Chain A
Amino acid sequence: MTLLALETATATCGVAVLNDDAVVAEAHLHRPRVHAERLTPLIEDVLGHADVSTEALNAVAVSMGPGSYTGLRIGTSTAKGWALSADAAFVGVPTLEAYAARVGPMAAPEDVVCALLDARRDEVYAGALRRTTEGLAEHAPTTALPVETLPDWLGTVDGQLWLVGDGAPKSRDALADDAFSCVTLPADAVSPSAGWVARRGRQRLEAHGPDDAATAEPLYVKDVHATPAPSPFD
């Protein structure tokens, strides 16, 4: 299988190509607000370095969120464009699943990896995977929540708790409890990775088949609660 993977949910703009079982090329920029301009040229570069032609692509995986709405718009519509023109399968990967999976190889069985993205004010986007003897399993579902409710959402952690992401620093105090033995990984050293979107994307394809590019939507997590524009007579 030849799979193209995109990660644009945060300030990281990443592209990876997976060929058979291995990620053979990947590139990341860690700069906010350049994704619209740089993503497509970066894809062309990475495909070129992987010596993969468009016709050879079987699948396109994209990080679906939560994250920056702008980043998700760019990544999702770009992935749809490639999937449709290359006649490739489309597969959405939850951002925090791919991010937590990046830390998976460092964790021991019963450890929990919690990926946290800053969602402004006192909130974070959070998702957690638990290391099992077979691999990784969901420990707590992706959500947006105030940091003080993190312990309830996490529940019991038997092993070590790994925190990763730009939401980790502000979450630490809420988790500085005897119930958790925490390791925090710095977000700039362990950033969201297109390579891990590729690996999780391939797993999802094998387990559940492709998603429908026509109906796929980012995981915004937060709804838009629209209110009418202000009344002119008050």
Chain B
Amino acid sequence: MLVLGIESSCDDTAAAVWEDGTVRANVVSSQADLHEEYGGVVPELASRNHQRLIVPVVQRALTKAEVDVEGLDAVAVTYGPGLPGSLLVGLSFAKAFARGLDVPLIGVNHLEGHVCSVDLEGPRPGRPFLCLVVSGGHTELVRVDENAQHEVLGRTRDDAAGEAFDKVAQLFGLGYPGGPDIDRHAETGDPAFHDFPRSRLDGFDFSFSGLKTSVLYYLRDRSAAERKRLLADHLDDLCAAVQAAVVDVLVDAMRRAVEETGGEHVAVVGGVAANSSLRRRMGALGREAGVDVSVPALTYCMDNAAMIAQAGARRLAAGHTSPAALDVHPNLQL
């Protein structure tokens, strides 16, 4: 089965060609540079860029995969969650493209796509598995069973983990997205430099807004000159301390979930799964707790369309297709 995947939920325009479990082409055109100067995604700019990129990105994926459009069996596309204008470009294009080729359209939940990203490469995690979905827009802990049904154990009550990195990076005067910059600086920093709060809620819910506020207070209680000196002398230490606070909370939740559910397989997916400290610490948790840990290759942690095609193919195999009236669902949940 040959599936074209399309993803445009935030600031990356992506298309992929997937054939029976193999990714034949995976094209992502990132707009991060464009949004960096504004400290985050500007929705209207993102939508306009998707419009500019959608056809070239799809064409590049088809060319790279050496596939003729007539050979496609289905079109899978993200219909939520995400920015409404961004989602609309990908979904409207995909609906028309699928109808024009007279092949099934499969609407895919972006978060389900991330969950499926662990199946794209390498050994597929055993079922059931505990999956932490962490990105700029989401932080969810779910249990995924043999039939790919998701049970949400917990999710963030305020900011996502990646959003916390973005906002703290903005306070530190770093770029957007914040995660990669913080990760890079943290490598040579001392995580014990300052003890930022780790909020632990009942159950498996998360909260990161307190961390952001705490960093804000830590900095604004100083004069501008003092703040400047502190950031110049200890940026690496501060990044390490913030990163430790975020990673501790995520690893702790996963550890408790393993203990409580007796799970044997765990996975971490989404943009924040690219964080080197989180990958290391999850690996260590796996060794301590005796569980398998799956983390996708960096390419598949970021938003991509291969995971959308993968999730779509599974849905199609289970007999699901979407109607031509499918609309975007900006606040879709798992």
A touching B, CB within 8 angstroms: yes
B-binding residues in A (CB < 8 A): 36-41, 43-44, 54, 69-70, 73-74, 76-82, 84-86, 213-215, 217-218, 220, 224, 226-229, 232-233
Cβ-Cβ contact count across A and B, 8 Å cutoff: 119
**B interface residues, tally (CB under 8 Å):** 46
Question: Given A80-B93, A81-B96, A86-B100, A73–B51 Cβ distance below 8 Å?
Answer: yes
Could you tell me if B92 and A78 are in contact, using CB atoms closer than 8 angstroms? Answer: yes
5 closest residue pairs by CB, A with B: A81-B96, A85-B100, A81-B97, A77-B92, A77-B93
Looking at chain A's contact residues, the main secondary structure is helix
Could you tell me if B69 and A85 are in contact, using CB atoms closer than 8 angstroms? Answer: yes
Could you tell me if B220 and A233 are in contact, using CB atoms closer than 8 angstroms? Answer: yes
User: Which residues from chain B contact A215 at a C-beta distance below 8 Å?
Assistant: 52
Question: Given A73-B89, A228-B38, A232-B216, A82–B327 Cβ distance below 8 Å?
Answer: no
CA distance A37 to B92 in the complex (A): 9
Does B67 make an interface contact (CB < 8 A)? Answer: no
User: Which residues from chain B contact A43 at a C-beta distance below 8 Å?
Assistant: 96, 99
Could you tell me if B48 and A39 are in contact, using CB atoms closer than 8 angstroms? Answer: no
A-binding residues in B (CB < 8 A): 37-40, 42, 44-45, 47-48, 51-52, 54-56, 58-59, 69, 84-85, 88-102, 170-171, 216, 219-220, 224, 323-328
Looking at chain B's contact residues, the main secondary structure is helix
Could you tell me if B55 and A80 are in contact, using CB atoms closer than 8 angstroms? Answer: yes
Could you tell me if B38 and A227 are in contact, using CB atoms closer than 8 angstroms? Answer: yes
- Name, among A69, A74, A228, the residue most crowded by chain B CB atoms within 10 Å (CB to CB): A74
Q: Beyond the given A79-B96, A81-B94, please list 4 additional residue pairs across the A-B interface where CB-CB is below 8 A.
A: A40-B324, A54-B100, A80-B96, A84-B58
Could you tell me if B99 and A224 are in contact, using CB atoms closer than 8 angstroms? Answer: no
User: Which residues from chain A contact B37 at a C-beta distance below 8 Å?
Assistant: 228
B326 nearest in chain A by CB position = A37
CA distance A86 to B216 in the complex (A): 54
Could you tell me if A213 and B69 are in contact, using CB atoms closer than 8 angstroms? Answer: no
Could you tell me if A78 and B93 are in contact, using CB atoms closer than 8 angstroms? Answer: yes
User: Which residues from chain B contact A69 at a C-beta distance below 8 Å?
Assistant: 44, 47, 85
Q: Please name 7 pairs of A and B residues whose Cβ atoms are closer than 8 Å in the assembled complex, sorted by A.
A: A40-B324, A41-B323, A70-B85, A73-B92, A77-B51, A78-B96, A81-B94
Could you tell me if A37 and B101 are in contact, using CB atoms closer than 8 angstroms? Answer: no
User: Which residues from chain B contact A74 at a C-beta distance below 8 Å?
Assistant: 88, 92
Nearest CB on B from A197, distance (A): 16
User: Which residues from chain A contact B51 at a C-beta distance below 8 Å?
Assistant: 73, 76-77, 217-218
